[in-house]
Amino acid sequence: MGTMNIETAEGRLEALRRMCTIREFDDTASELFADGEIPGFVHLYIGEEAVAVGACSALEDDDYITSTHRGHGHCIAKGLDPERMMAELLGKRDGYCKGKGGSMHIADVDAGMLGANGIVGAGPPLATGAALGIDQRGEDRVALAFFGDGAVAQGQVHEALNLAATWSLPAVFVIENNQFGEGTPVEEQHHLDNLSETAEAYDIPGITVDGMDVTAVNEAVAEARTRARNGDGPTLVEAVTYRYRGHFEGDPQPYRDEEDVEEWRERDPIETFFQRLRDRGEITEEEFEAMRSEVETTVEEAVEYARDAPEPEPEDAYEDMFADPAPEIAQFAERLRADGGERGGDR
Amino acid sequence: MAQATDQRTATTTFREAIRTALREEMERDDGVFLMGEDVGDYGGVFEVTQGLADEFGEERVRDTPISEAGFVGAGVGAAATGMRPVVEVMFSDFLGVSAEQMLNQMAKMRYMFGGKTDMGITIRTTEGGGMGAASQHSGTLHTWFAHFPGIKAVAPATPEAAKGLLKSAIRSDDPVMFFEDKMIYEREGEMPTDADFTLPIGEASVEREGEDVTVVATQRLVGESLSLADELEGDVSVEVVDPRSLYPLDTDAIVESVEKTGRLVVADESPLSYGTHAEVVARVVESGFFSLDAPPQRVGVPDTHIPFSPPLEDEVLPQAADVRTAIDRVV
Amino acid sequence: MARVGLVANPAAGRDIRRLTGGAVVSDNYAKRRAAASVLEGLSVHPGIEVLVAPDEAGIGEYAVSESPDEVSATLLDVPTHGTREDTRLAAARFRDETDVAVVLGGDGTVRDVVSAVGSVPLVAVSTGTNNVVPDHVDGAVAGVAAAFVADGTVPIEEVAIRHSTVEATIAEPERKRSIRSLATMGVVDRPFVGTRAVLNGEEFVGGVVSRAGPHEIGLSGIVGGVVRHPPDAPGGVGVRLGPPDETPRTVDAVTVPGVLEPVGVADYRLLDDGEEFVFEVETGVVSVDGERDVEVTDAEVAMSPSADGPYVVQVERTLAAAADRGGFDV
């Protein structure tokens, strides 16, 4: 819960700010990608902010999460620093992963963030393992796995659910049903309509909540966390949400109907939450504008930080393979660099 | 290189040596726990973990469903958050079922995350033909994992190596694949009894000194090569080197031996093409080419699967006779 | 020719009370089978035409594909979006084109149908255990009842009740809104609609019910411990609740599915139709049939019973009346 207890007015504003930060961060990432400043693949979380923030606002700071290829929102919701995130997106030495991971692999294990993940469905087994460790050590924490609707078709997700259920582990599984698995609509990938019904096979509760409402996700995950901490085992929460952007930046999106985007935008998680807070007198239009411009500044500063950060040294590529390095790597590298003179491509 | 101060040993089996290492490391560190199919009260399909559930309880010797992707993944997640899981995959042929979690998570997390994640997981699995278990329970797959960056791979041949390497594997903050040749569980040998005894990963052992030919052998073929060397005594002087670790591989020890003998035979039960043999030969050629007096020879499985019927299985499995033929070709 | 509408809500009942209480859900497989069973029941008198609402989970489509030869079933040509609007669109067609409508879902689904179905009588079948209005009855049995009502085997006025409703106006400094519920309207001391379901009885500040009975769950069950009020009786009951040790009377009630707890009753009052029962709410949520629905701040919430509710077919009464008339004879 930390600073984001949405039972309090202060916490609600923080949740709103966190959602705005995700939106601004990813809008900016989109621009930087289009300008060629970010290499590789970028998967944006825009539209789904209520899920990450709703879930993380129901967690304690030392709880673990596993993330997905669409992980920026989870990172920010878990409290990671936008500067080091942006530096990672730009492949800089001061990024969370020293530039070795990029957008798809941002991690901060010390902060409980066990990594964005480029493999669909790989997170739930990791969360099950983290929950197993919590259980073995007798700690008062939980592990939560975010995964998409697409991952529900992956075998290892079901294995993770079965293990966590069988062992009654303190785990929470959150399906982010954003209506598309890569470039194919969800209904073409699953016979199930309510993906939370998957839970029935494992004799655990499965519930479906409005993933565009941060309060709904928060409440569901809070109950799931309580259940996990009471020793009652895992819960499967399906948050029904919508991905505004393509699967990846540059996706031509032949599978999408523009009308649908407009329909979902009417329920925008940030706009609707702001309106609710405004209606209860907790924030004014002016204050919201001010919040947005602060968030803009935060993200601008993150971009500046990232741009100013040093590039990694090319030979850093040979570091971090092992805790106890294999001599082969240094030997091969030495031979490569001795023979090759100036290395590096012509990008 | 044994680090033990107490030099006493006991005659024990390969199986008991593994069990001893597991027991000692579980006593030493509460974060160590075992997990796998039938490892609990059943004691493991090859009885390696027998009795440990009684000693340490079913939470630390945890039976799993038949769910390799799930429980290997759970081991990876537990290791990433500070535990030291020792996961048993009953047969190496089943590793493919859990490959994703090993290849994309276990092997890559530290590197992808910029070095910040420890991955103190050990995966024990069995390899090798010879008991009529047919193609899906007899394979020798260690080359895959020795090849894949980010994973350490060890394949002991003796009780001493089994104990020393398994203890190092469990204590390591890196992922280690521990390959057990199921045909040598009954093999006896001297095992240091000191609970502080370990063997460093990445160091080969000269099991027998010789002058005429170097046989780099692994697993079951170490014992068979040593017997062969005894037989050939007076005729050919055979040096037997057991690399013990497949990755990292102790190039120096192997090259040093070949520099002395000038001849190299590599005996390993994996398939011959693109394999462990090729790696040993390549390193010798790269670093000791001018010491070679004859073309290096490979002894392994001739690129088939392991068949069921005993005459068929005997045909393809490398044995002492094949090592002898290879020696005869170069000496 | 007799025409029957059939609508099923695929999303009904996936709610959080599975965690916080004893709510039971039926999966969409069960709903598909239940929908097919309704058509089976409708075949009791051959020739009935059935308009089946489409839905994103394919419940209606499945029912049509499984429909018995004696029934002429077609899928309604209306768009679906996977929202409650789907139910309303189908109900609007039922209003013009059917004699009776069968609804598979909970109180929320029935309310959505009621908002658009006009005076077409309903056979409401519960697909969970959390509901007040729909009957817990087998789909085929419900289908038989619907057939007897649709083809005039039994007169509607003999076997249906007119269910009262509750209306409310919510006046806040900047705006005014009106909402309606079928059985209960409550004020809940909770900051957000959140997962919508009311999570425990302590959160109820009070409300107005159009029906009350001790066998019911939620606000109508709480009131039912004090006074009984049939759903088709004129008027309703207004109630204010409080902590059990601070109120003159405390009753045990099943406040949410699976939860029995004492609830303090500060006061209650029988209301005539149109008679207001007012709550001043600083912050809270107005609940509709057990679901948190509208977040309010500095609001005056004026609730009142209303007689203009839906005609709800009483399944047991219908079948008995039909049997008396030889409706089951082959």
Q: Where are the domains of chain B?
A: 9-192, 205-330
Q: Is residue A247 annotated as a catalytic residue, yes or no?
A: yes
Give residue A76's pLDDT band: very low, low, confident or very high (50, 70, 90). very high
| Domains assigned to chain A | 9-312 (3.40.50.970), 314-347 (no CATH)
- Between A191-200, A231-240, C273-282, the lowest mean confidence (pLDDT) is in A191-200
Buried b (16+ CB within 10 A) or exposed e, B234-255: eebbbbbbbbbbbbbbbbebbb
Helix (H/G/I), strand (E/B), else coil: C295: strand
Comparing C3-162+310-324 with C165-306, is the CATH topology the same? no
Question: Mind giving me the DSSP string for A6-65?
Answer: TTSHHHHHHHHHHHHHHHHHHHHHHHHHHTT-S-S-----TT-HHHHHHHHTTS-TT-EE
The mean pLDDT value of chain A amounts to 95
CA distances from C190 to A5, A219, C205 (A): 14, 11, 10
- Residue A1: other Cβ atoms inside 10 A: 18
Take residue A241 and report the two structure tokens written for it: 């949400």
Positions of chain B with pLDDT lower than 50, given as ranges: 1-2
The tally of CA atoms less than 13 A away on the side-chain side of residue B192 is 20
Q: Which of residues 100-139 of A touch B (CB under 8 A)?
A: 100-101, 105, 107-110, 114-115, 117-119, 122, 124-137
Residue C292: name the closest of C164, C205, C227, C229 by CA.
C205
Please, what is the end-to-end C-alpha distance for chain A in angstroms?
A: 44
Are B202 and A166 a contacting pair at CB < 8 A? no
The residues near C150 (Cβ < 8 Å, ≥ 6 apart) are C2, C3, C4, C48, C98, C99, C100
pLDDT digits (tens, 9 = 90+) for A27-55: 999 999 999 999 999 999 999 999 999 99
- Determine the number of helices (DSSP H) and then strands (DSSP E) in chain B: 12, 14
Give the 3-state secondary structure of residue A155: helix
The residue written with tokens 């499965």 in the block is: A206
CB proximity list for A304: less than 8 A, separation 6 or greater:
none
Q: Can you tell me the distance from the alpha carbon of B95 to that of B100, in angstroms, rounded to the nearest whole number? A: 9
Q: How many helices (H) and strands (E) does chain C have?
A: 9, 16
* DSSP letters spanning C85-154: HHHHHHHHHHHHH-SEEEEEE-HHHHHHHHHHHTT--EEEEESBS--SSSB---HHHHHHHHHHHHTTSS
Per-domain boundaries in chain C = 3-162+310-324, 165-306
Query: Nearest C-alpha of chain A: how many angstroms from B31?
Result: 8
Radius of gyration of the CA atoms of chain B, in A: 19
pLDDT category of residue A205 using cuts at 50, 70 and 90: very high
Q: Is the pLDDT of residue A184 over 70?
A: yes
**A47/chain B closest Cα distance in angstroms:** 27
Instruction: Please tell me the distance from the alpha carbon of residue B70 to that of residue A204, in angstroms, as a whole number.
Output: 17
The pLDDT value recorded for residue C63 is 95
Residue B71 has what pLDDT?
A: 98
Segment 243-282 of chain B within 8 Å of chain A by CB: 247-249
DSSP strands (E only) in chain A: 64-66, 143-148, 171-177, 180-181, 184-185, 206-210, 235-240
Domain C3-162+310-324: top CATH class: alpha beta
Residue B191 identity (one-letter amino acid):
M
**The pLDDT of residue A63 is above 60:** yes
Report the C-alpha gap between B268 and B265 in whole angstroms. 10
Overall residue count recorded for chain C in this entry: 330
Beta bridge partners of B212: none
End-to-end CA distance of chain C: 20
H or E segment to which residue C264 belongs: strand C259-271
- Listed in sequence order, the DSSP H helices in A233-268 are 258-265
CB contact under 8 A, A213 and C194: yes
Task: Give me the residues paired with residue C253 across strands.
Answer: C261
Percent of all residues in chain A with a pLDDT value above 70, rounded to a whole number: 97
Pick the CATH number of B9-192 from 3.40.50.970, 3.20.20.70, 3.40.50.2000, 3.40.50.300: 3.40.50.970
Q: Which own/partner contact pairs does A221-224 have at CB distance under 8 Å and 24+ positions apart?
A: A221/A54, A221/A55, A221/A58, A221/A59, A221/A144, A221/A172, A221/A174, A222/A58, A223/C16, A223/C19, A223/C20, A224/A58, A224/A172, A224/C19
- Say if the Cβ atoms of B116 and A107 lie within 8 Å: yes
Q: Please confirm, yes or no, whether A96 is among the known catalytic residues.
A: no
C165-306: what CATH class? mainly beta
Tell which of C9, C16, C59, C285 to mutate to test the A interface (max A CBs under 10 Å). Answer: C16
Q: Which residue do the tokens 């629905």 mark?
A: C293
Nearest partner of A81 among A298, A309, A296, A308, judged by Cα: A298
Which pLDDT score, from 0 to 100, does residue C23 have? 77
Q: What is the pLDDT along chain C (330 residues), one digit of tens a residue?
A: 899 999 998 775 567 777 777 777 778 888 999 999 999 999 999 999 999 999 988 899 999 999 999 999 999 999 998 888 999 999 999 999 999 999 999 888 999 999 999 999 999 999 866 688 999 999 999 999 999 999 999 999 999 999 999 999 999 998 999 999 999 999 999 989 998 888 888 899 999 999 999 999 999 999 999 999 999 999 999 999 999 999 999 999 999 888 999 999 999 999 999 999 999 999 999 999 989 999 999 999 999 999 989 999 999 999 999 999 999 998
What's the pLDDT score for residue B74? Answer: 98
- Chain A residues with beta carbon closer than 8 angstroms to that of C298: 281
Contact indicator for B38, B12 with CB cutoff of 8 Å: no
Q: Are the beta carbons of B242 and B161 closer than 8 angstroms?
A: yes
| Residue range B205-330 in CATH 3.40.50.920 | yes
The interface pTM score, or ipTM, of the predicted complex is 0.93
How much is the pLDDT for C257?
Answer: 87
Q: What is the mean pLDDT of residues A265-288?
A: 96
Under a CB-based contact definition with an 8 Å cutoff, are residues B323 and B268 in contact? no
